Amino acid sequence: MRLLFAASEIFPYAKSGGLADVADALPTALASHAEVARVMPLYGFMPKEGLRLHESFSLLVGDISYKIEILCKDSHAIKDYFVAFELLSATQKAYGNEQGDYANNDLRFGIFCAAVVELAARLKVDILHLNDWQCALCALFAKEQKRSFKTLFTIHNLAYQGVFERSSLERLGIDASYFHMDALEFYGKVNFMKAGIAYADAITTVSPSYAKEILTPEFGCGLEGFLKLHASKLSGILNGINQELFDPSKDMLLPCRYGSANMQEKYKNKVELLRDSRLKDPRKPLFVMVSRLVAQKGVELLLESIEELLAQKLNLYIIGEGEAKYRKKFVELAKEYPNFDFFEGYDEPHSHRLYAAADFLLMPSIFEPCGLNQFIAMRYGAIPIVHSVGGLKDSVFEEEGKCGRGFVFEKQTKKEFMEAIKRALDLRSKRAAFDAMRAENMACDFSFEPSALEYMKLYGSLL
């Protein structure tokens, strides 16, 4: 089986969130079972060293001919392809800048989709696996052109749908007949996500619980009815992580590497982190949050609870970038509370050091399609405290006997959140039980191998 995996970001080339990690780890796991290649945009900020020109061709999109270059790089068992053309490749960010999303993202990713479909045909693939709205139009183009390969569309976060003005159809050469509620129309605009849902041969989300949740008004983001129409081809497959990349015994980004047999080395990571921060006393439990600072991630609940939280005998460290109002508030709180520190921005090495130093990870998300942080935390011996939604519900369990132990609160309220934190603090006071839970989590398999086998079965059903 020949598979082309398309995404708008792939670690380590470009990363703004969990999609990049999935686009790194899942194809790597699939490469043991199929012939796998990946494709993504070549953005202006990406280094060109090590890339070679694979081929170039012209595409007529709307009334304009675009010159497309396909560059490539061999990466172990996987070949990576990069789509380059002026509109897509001139920017220094993937999706937007400080002023917001780029106004021409419809053209940038619409043309990218047209190029991906052409590349998939030239590579003679059997399956084209599409991810999120940036790749969704590939499903429509493949159907229109009667391409021989099958398409699978994965929804990583339904909240981001790629909604544009109606004029996008003409700019992309998409027939006006698609502008109706059972196709691309969405409250008078064009919705790229709907193209993936309507025209892909199969749809997945990144956890079984999220696949059910998005069929409800609470989590459906206005598409619950449309998804119900296509529910027969929808399923949920839980994500995993790259366990080679996230391995505290081999992680060269850490001051001290460790495993479950030498957790005193983990403690040294906490000592090092606190030395470089405002926080004092490494004997205190360290709670961390590694997150985009947006409402979805439960930031409002955290702020509502923070006075009571910081009144406990603990340290709290947050790393993240996102909405200005949240960044400003955390900067102010860091000046007010000696047991709170905030690192503004996203820094991959720093996040690894945070997981290695932490005793507990906070994930109070309003909704969470899957989440990867809980897996990374458990792998590094930090116990997650999570709201029971989406992939968090499928991967973190308070009861004994399941792999992936942590603390779970059912309702997104200050009362339930603080009760979970107090249960965590109680466990921390019982050293043997705390160490046992950490060791149990560190022995779990959070890799993508089980997910890869499920995807292989789904791919096979399409052929």
What HEC string does 93-114 produce? CCCEECCEECCCHHHHHHHHHH
Buried/exposed code over 303-322 (b: 16+ C-beta within 10 A; e: otherwise) = ebbbeebbebebbbbbbbbb
What pLDDT was estimated at residue 16? 86
How sure is the predictor about 330, in pLDDT bands with cuts at 50, 70 and 90? very high
Q: 222-271: per-residue pLDDT in tens? A: 999 999 999 999 999 999 999 999 999 999 999 999 999 999 999 999 99
State which H helix or E strand residue 243 sits in.
none
Contact 123, 148 (CB under 8 A): no
- Give the mean pLDDT of 184-213: 98
User: Can you tell me the distance from the alpha carbon of 2 to that of 31, in angstroms, rounded to the nearest whole number?
Assistant: 10
- Across all residues in the chain, what is the average pLDDT? 96
Contact 298, 363 (CB under 8 A): yes
- C-alpha distances (whole Å) from 274 to each of 111, 269, 308 are 47, 9, 22
pLDDT tops 80 at residue 75: no
What pLDDT was estimated at residue 74? 81
Nearest to 17 by CA among 29, 26, 4, 8: 8
With tokens 């981001």, the residue in question is: 160
How sure is the predictor about 355, in pLDDT bands with cuts at 50, 70 and 90? very high
- C-alpha distances (whole Å) from 206 to each of 153, 339, 369, 447 are 11, 35, 6, 14
Q: What is the DSSP letter of 293?
A: B
Radius of gyration of the chain (CA): 22
**Which pTM does this prediction carry?**
0.93
Q: Which amino acid is at 299?
A: V
Q: Structure tokens of 22?
A: 């999935």
Would you list the DSSP string of 150-192? Answer: EEEEEES-TT---EE-THHHHHTT--GGG-STTTTEETTEEEH
Phi and psi of 59, rounded to 5°? -125, 130
What pLDDT was estimated at residue 2? 97
Q: In what order do the strands lie in the sheet containing 150-155?
A: 52-61, 64-75, 78-84, 35-41, 2-6, 127-131, 150-155, 202-205, 234-236
